A and B are shown apart, each in its own frame.
Chain A
């Protein structure tokens, strides 16, 4: 019933979603100029200084569209379902996630593609190349769909990717768009059987009459091939747009959250899910808040939190009842009346919530701040960090150009001592919770030469602007860093800036 559009932005058959690039070859995500910039820092970098490891770039897909489609499809696609401008918009990265060991880094983009990078293995010859990430696999996870009943197009943009912990040789990840969650299996194949009796080497069937002897097929090594197959499709469970997925610590269940409901799934069962939170009012007129993010506790498989557009966080315990509409804990900070404005409600809407690795804290991101909450204290956060408070006076303009609706994410480092989040002008900020120091860095082509140490940036708020500072008015609001990820154990970060993926490493000598 749902129309499945052809994959418009895959190049040739060798990029078929199932059979991927041979391992090690640079794929479409690499810089057009060649290999990514190598990691190197021979000059002593102090602790806390970051250098660019590699920048991975997605080429624009415009030329592909015009080459592959015939006139009619192009017209239809361009005018109705795909605007020509979507060609480049399809490359915008919409989610970034390291797996549990940090060996793999997955990115999803607006075009429904997932690209997985693998960390370069340490080798004696090229010690300095450790830390680089190369393309491991790329596949089309979601296609644009059309819901005929509601006359709605369903975007193929990947909203979230979450890895499952590795339990065998294959990797599993969940990827979701607005309506459907899919479980993908990414596995390597480095041997293939040769010597079939009924088929020849090209796969053609042999005439049985010509077979005189029987042989046993043997496995022979081949070029490593990484293939991705969809193992489960969890569809038709969400009326509203899915904004989060979270794998439970029991590794058997996961939850998916949309604007008004949260569903609990078992990985093995795709045709039903449990609804565990439902905040849809009986009369939609009374709608005052929506769910914006949700996450399971990292250790307690019965506990999860979800954040709302009103700036509140609710912690729920699934042991208490089947439907967790009544929260166990309710985190809300009283509003500061002196900061009240037309846009107070918008900027208090929480865009991301993350448990610390320890499970003791949660971090929330609203438009201007990042807050750390202790699970045992509900009435206020224990720490509040201003990300870009200089924007507070510009809220009206940001409302006009829709920037005020941007949903920034936030991440913990492996030891929960540093938190990171993005900002505008390709800036991203890190806050050290122990030393209370913070730094602003920029992810940009112009300022990041290979091997160079990232220079801390500063935004000048008013008065005299120093030489290296940038004034608020010259910030580029079209360059925003919404998605970042931190390696689970090392100081390696991945920063997504539109269609570029930057990987930085903290070099400690």
Chain B
């Protein structure tokens, strides 16, 4: 348990560092951010391999099964290099709702048809693996949104609507399959968006375009106005329910899942994996039905804010 808290703390710190690095004088320091991302990966692995997952549940009695996850305790969990099973579990959930994860991912992307390549799309695997976390997440993200609103401000001014799917309507601890339409997928991406290394203030849009986020740059215009009304019904519900710690850990769980996609390169050591990723990267932005690709590809989707920063840099 302590490892989980420690990992949680380290993840928060690491994300903060990556976020702050975008404003540094002299540009993003590749070496330092690479090291931070390595720490993030280690912490994430500990976090997810911890056998006491109850911490990030909010209101759900049954802990989500970590499919394929080794039963190793924390010391082994982070003491060894990432166990292959863990890696497999990450992208390939074996939870019963094999369809919902794909559907979830599909929905995530469908919600933003213009932004299939956005760094914010959840991978199918991740969505399933943190199904319950989403519930806590929705509450947690209110907190994050509160903090993140300021950060998103500048981008809104520039006329670029925040990317990512619109928020789900009612908070619910059920797996995502129970929710209607595109809204069901949590807005998990959003705080990640806030956290991710936004390109330097000079030309965010150009940077996004250059990095392959082009399609993501023009999300459905309707999504933006939708968000505001939705926020309100959620807040009271969120505030009432979970404890602060659960909220934050649920928040982090999804942040981890988002950033997890950033470090697929670090997880995978073989060059073959790299090829797959390259294909995913190319196909991602242009795919008509990204949901399908999520199904087929056992690998992590690679569009991610981190690579945006690196590539643009």
Q: Which A positions have Cβ atoms within 8 angstroms of B?
A: 150-155, 157, 178, 240-241, 243, 259-260, 281-290, 292, 309, 337, 340, 342-346, 349, 396, 399-400, 402, 405
Asked if B34 is an interface residue, CB under 8 A from chain A, the answer is yes
Provide the bound-state CA to CA distance between A150 and B204, in Å: 10
Q: If A282-B274, A283-B274, A288-B265 touch, does A151 touch B203 (CB 8 Å cutoff)?
A: yes
| The one of A150, A157, A284, A399 that contacts B13, using a Cβ cutoff of 8 Å | A399
On whether the beta carbons of A287 and B310 are closer than 8 Å, the reply is yes
Residues of A near B43 (CB, < 8 A) are 342
| The one of A243, A259, A285 that contacts B265, using a Cβ cutoff of 8 Å | A285
What 9 additional pairs, Cβ within 8 angstroms, besides A284-B311, A288-B266, A399-B10? A153-B25, A155-B26, A259-B30, A286-B271, A289-B34, A309-B31, A342-B46, A345-B39, A405-B35
Residues of B near A402 (CB, < 8 A) are 17
Residues of B near A399 (CB, < 8 A) are 10, 13, 39
Q: Would you give 12 A-B contacts (Cβ < 8 Å), ordered by A?
A: A151-B207, A241-B30, A243-B31, A282-B278, A283-B278, A284-B265, A287-B30, A288-B265, A346-B35, A346-B39, A399-B13, A405-B35
The tally of residues in B whose CB lies under 8 Å from a CB in A reads 45
On whether the beta carbons of B281 and A283 are closer than 8 Å, the reply is yes
On whether the beta carbons of B35 and A286 are closer than 8 Å, the reply is no
Residues 23 to 75 of chain B near chain A (Cβ within 8 Å): 25-27, 29-32, 34-35, 38-39, 42-43, 46
* A-B contacts at CB below 8 angstroms, number: 112
Residues of B near A287 (CB, < 8 A) are 30, 34, 265, 310
Asked if B141 is an interface residue, CB under 8 A from chain A, the answer is no
On whether the beta carbons of B25 and A155 are closer than 8 Å, the reply is yes
On whether the beta carbons of B311 and A400 are closer than 8 Å, the reply is no
On whether the beta carbons of A292 and B278 are closer than 8 Å, the reply is no
Question: In chain A, what residue has the closest Cβ to B312?
Answer: A150
Asked if B254 is an interface residue, CB under 8 A from chain A, the answer is no
Residues of A near B310 (CB, < 8 A) are 284, 287
On whether the beta carbons of A153 and B26 are closer than 8 Å, the reply is yes
Provide the bound-state CA to CA distance between A399 and B46, in Å: 17
On whether the beta carbons of A290 and B274 are closer than 8 Å, the reply is no
| The one of A178, A290, A337 that contacts B31, using a Cβ cutoff of 8 Å | A290
On whether the beta carbons of B302 and A285 are closer than 8 Å, the reply is yes
Asked if B224 is an interface residue, CB under 8 A from chain A, the answer is no
On whether the beta carbons of A346 and B31 are closer than 8 Å, the reply is no
Residues of B near A400 (CB, < 8 A) are 13
Residues of A near B271 (CB, < 8 A) are 286
On whether the beta carbons of B264 and A285 are closer than 8 Å, the reply is yes
Q: If A151-B203, A283-B277 touch, does A342 touch B26 (CB 8 Å cutoff)?
A: no
List the 10 closest A-B pairs by CB distance, nearest first: A151-B202, A286-B265, A155-B26, A285-B265, A152-B27, A345-B38, A284-B310, A259-B30, A286-B274, A346-B35
Residues of B near A289 (CB, < 8 A) are 34
State the Cβ distance, A159 to closest chain B Cβ, in Å. Answer: 11
State the Cβ distance, B43 to closest chain A Cβ, in Å. Answer: 6
Give the interface SS of chain B, mostly helix, strand, loop or mixed.
Answer: helix
On whether the beta carbons of A405 and B32 are closer than 8 Å, the reply is yes
Provide the bound-state CA to CA distance between A281 and B302, in Å: 15
Residues of B near A346 (CB, < 8 A) are 35, 38-39
| The one of B27, B31, B268, B277 that contacts A150, using a Cβ cutoff of 8 Å | B27
Provide the bound-state CA to CA distance between A281 and B25, in Å: 26
Residues of A near B201 (CB, < 8 A) are 151
State the Cβ distance, A88 to closest chain B Cβ, in Å. Answer: 15
Name, among A243, A281, A342, the residue most crowded by chain B CB atoms within 10 Å (CB to CB): A342
Provide the bound-state CA to CA distance between A178 and B27, in Å: 10
Asked if B95 is an interface residue, CB under 8 A from chain A, the answer is no
Give the interface SS of chain A, mostly helix, strand, loop or mixed.
Answer: loop
Residues 264 to 288 of chain B near chain A (Cβ within 8 Å): 264-266, 268-269, 271, 274, 277-278, 281
Residues of A near B6 (CB, < 8 A) are 342, 396
Provide the bound-state CA to CA distance between A396 and B10, in Å: 8
Q: If A241-B29, A282-B274, A283-B265 touch, does A342 touch B42 (CB 8 Å cutoff)?
A: yes
Name, among A150, A155, A243, A402, the residue most crowded by chain B CB atoms within 10 Å (CB to CB): A150
Q: If A155-B26, A285-B264, A288-B266 touch, does A340 touch B78 (CB 8 Å cutoff)?
A: yes
On whether the beta carbons of A154 and B26 are closer than 8 Å, the reply is yes
Residues of B near A343 (CB, < 8 A) are 39
Question: In chain A, what residue has the closest Cβ to B308?
Answer: A284
Provide the bound-state CA to CA distance between A286 and B262, in Å: 10
Asked if B222 is an interface residue, CB under 8 A from chain A, the answer is no
Q: If A283-B274, A285-B265, A345-B39 touch, does A309 touch B34 (CB 8 Å cutoff)?
A: yes
- Contact string against A for B residues 169-209, beta-carbon threshold 8 Å, 1 for contact and 0 otherwise: 00000000000000000000000000000011111000100
State the Cβ distance, A326 to closest chain B Cβ, in Å. Answer: 15
Asked if B307 is an interface residue, CB under 8 A from chain A, the answer is yes
On whether the beta carbons of A290 and B278 are closer than 8 Å, the reply is no
State the Cβ distance, A407 to closest chain B Cβ, in Å. Answer: 9
Asked if B229 is an interface residue, CB under 8 A from chain A, the answer is no
State the Cβ distance, B97 to closest chain A Cβ, in Å. Answer: 29
Provide the bound-state CA to CA distance between A286 and B270, in Å: 10
Provide the bound-state CA to CA distance between A241 and B310, in Å: 13
Question: In chain B, what residue has the closest Cβ to A335?
Answer: B81
State the Cβ distance, A209 to closest chain B Cβ, in Å. Answer: 58
State the Cβ distance, A339 to closest chain B Cβ, in Å. Answer: 10
Provide the bound-state CA to CA distance between A42 and B156, in Å: 72
Provide the bound-state CA to CA distance between A259 and B278, in Å: 22
Provide the bound-state CA to CA distance between A243 and B113, in Å: 43
On whether the beta carbons of A281 and B274 are closer than 8 Å, the reply is yes
On whether the beta carbons of B34 and A241 are closer than 8 Å, the reply is no
Name, among A154, A290, A337, the residue most crowded by chain B CB atoms within 10 Å (CB to CB): A290
Asked if B79 is an interface residue, CB under 8 A from chain A, the answer is yes
Question: In chain B, what residue has the closest Cβ to A310?
Answer: B38
Provide the bound-state CA to CA distance between A73 and B200, in Å: 22
Provide the bound-state CA to CA distance between A225 and B39, in Å: 53
Provide the bound-state CA to CA distance between A260 and B30, in Å: 9
Question: In chain B, what residue has the closest Cβ to A349?
Answer: B35
On whether the beta carbons of B265 and A290 are closer than 8 Å, the reply is no
Provide the bound-state CA to CA distance between A284 and B271, in Å: 13
Residues of B near A152 (CB, < 8 A) are 26-27, 200, 202, 313
Provide the bound-state CA to CA distance between A292 and B31, in Å: 8
Question: In chain A, what residue has the closest Cβ to B310?
Answer: A284
Residues of B near A342 (CB, < 8 A) are 6-7, 10, 39, 42-43, 46, 78
Question: In chain B, what residue has the closest Cβ to A89?
Answer: B25
Question: In chain A, what residue has the closest Cβ to B269?
Answer: A288
| The one of A157, A240, A283, A309 that contacts B35, using a Cβ cutoff of 8 Å | A309
Residues of B near A153 (CB, < 8 A) are 25-27
